Structure 1
Amino acid sequence: MTAQHQTLEVRRDEIGTTRLLVEDVELKDGQVRFRVDRFAITANNITYAVFGDMLGYWDFFPSSQPDADDGRPGWGRVPAMGWAEVVESRHDEIAVGRRFYGWYPMASHVVFTPTTTREGFRDDGPHRQAHAPVYRAYVDVESDGMYDEAPDGEDRHAVLRGLFLTGLLAEEFFADGGGSGAEYFGTTRVVVLSASSKTAIGFAQRAALRKGVDVVAVTSTSNREFVENLGFYDQVVTYDEIDEIATEGGAVSIDMAGNPTSLAAVHRAFGDRLAYSMTVGRSHHDAPAAASNDLDGPSPQLFFAPTEVGRRREQWGTEAYDALCASALDEFVDGSRSWLRIDHRFGADAVEAAWREVFDGAVEPAVGVVAAFESFDETTGSSS
């Protein structure tokens, strides 16, 4: 059977350029069609587009026009975290009406080729075979140990869940020195660039629980008061105040911004006292990538969360890993109600406008954008 899908696509080499595509998509034997009920649009989605070729994000949901006629990169579909419901099924084990959390395109609908798992299903479409298991896993609401039944629970999970877990894993990486056993690589502070980003806030909330480690925020002047009021940072400085951070005892750094000027300032301030430089995102997507050979101290290392998921599950056991994530996420999401407001965007035009606003950096850190091609009841969360 064939149904019409609406999808937001972005130019792969000009990610501020978008289009809305309408196409008829056939459902084949063994496949399932989902209505994408809601998804978050954050600076992290911009990072997925920036690293789309390097880390394979463009391959999650391939465009029908990935290449342009002139040989340039064409259009791509950026993955987003959210919720979707089965509206049509030609798979014996997945019934209409079931609801799942996971990665979806910014679209009205999507078709998967599922293999059922204990918690839900794994997308086994041929284009997904090379992706990390965590990116292909979809969790049924009924078996989701992290599910938040509060009226705004799905919205907050769409915005925060993936970002917080990345922050948690990054903090755990520092906590055991990347496997060396030296907490925070033997230093006494961590410098957090782009400290107002939601991944950074999740990281800082976890880091603040460590004794003997100062958590230092680096942020813009406009976001300084917001960051200070979070209560997770021991010190807050602006980008032009990086040289005021004390260097005694050394530090590690975690960079959500991807701004080479700011990163170079941290490296210059600490030099050899910077024990580890971690890169997580590119919230400053318009800045050129830092040239590691021009930096004092260690070369920045890209943190890839799925690798750390595998290491921790092997080290702690899946049950212990899942329990930690569930309890930590519950605490973080509950606390977010004091600083994060959900902003709903309904309809194709609103989805496209939301992407442009996030791309332009026009969304305040105290706002989480949750979008959908169809509107839903904001009280019950059901689609209308």
Structure 2
Amino acid sequence: MIRDPQALHALLADVREFTQTVCLPLEAQIDAHDAMPEAVVDGMRRLGLFGHSIPAAYGGAGLTTEELALVNIEVSQASPTFRARFGGNTGIAAESLIVDGTEAQRQRYLPRMASGELTGCFALTEPEAGSDAISLTTTARREGDDFVLNGHKCFITNAPIAGLFTVFARTEAGRGAAGISAFLVERGTPGLTTPEPPRKMGQHGSPVGEVILQDCRVPASSVVGGEALLGQGFRTAMKTLNKQRINLAGLCVGPAIRLVHEMVARARARQQFGQAIGEFQLVQQMIAESNTEVHAARALVLETARKRDAGEDVTMEASMCKVFATEMCGRVADRAVQVFGGSGYMAGNVAERFFRDVRLFRLYEGTTQIHWLNIAKRTLAAGGAGV
């Protein structure tokens, strides 16, 4: 759903200019030094990137799912690390508050998240609870008007720099999803620490790390949605992830578009056997396949976004978007390395860098294999209806 085409066109133009003039020239530097310049983050704040999905009532732009998908496709044509810096605030970290937070919680946090003053993160994954998130072992023990949290979270995007943590913990033992609650924990709360982040394969400049909770005491008012939603944290997580999976799919279309452009430029410039390699049909095939898959993924993402904006249940379609777009992006990145040849394997090359960066997409927000299972279960349960 696009509410104002002219306003959206202007927004996309601003994002495109920021991406092209600010982000692209810094890609190699950030990859090498694993740090995002604060001046770039300030530019993101001025452009309003932190608040795109946050409702206007709380200082954001209140973009629809389709509008946000188009922004994600645009901004992710630069290295994925740029979007990751503000992505929690336009994705899962803010979305749990938007869908289930109390009004007091929204008023306290969302305006600061929309401005970029406060960075949020979504602390669900644990060493033994990734795809099987219901197996999480972090506990929240009731003590009077407080809860005491103990546990270990890992692979949490923006954990080292976040000011607000949405922490999922078990408030009732042995009740599966029904015993999980979500808590809002501010940095500086005694008992919450974030160790030094490890170096990753790719997406350098986007800090990912652990969250350690040792007798971390928070008031009962920190339960997302208040005590009325005690034990409903897993449902909050799933509602949040449905939208984020569409966002992530859009974030896979952007790098694939960029890589098609890079492949075309390389195929025109590189000479072999007395002619540009773009004249060879097998090189043309790799470019044609990539461009076709980009168009297919973009169409699927936008169609699913429109359905969600129309109020339809898109749980299965969101999984389809996530699987198809992430796998597509990986294939395009692999072809880009092939078109670039030996130089595509060398550090500092755009194809090599994106090959590393996009590999993560097939792992988080549910692995490809988990989504195949979810799609199959829903298709079988529906008897094939809706195909």
Normalising by structure 2, report the TM-score: 0.24
Name the one with the larger strand percent. Answer: 1
Question: Structure 1 length normalisation: TM-score?
Answer: 0.25
Q: Which has the larger share of helix?
A: 2
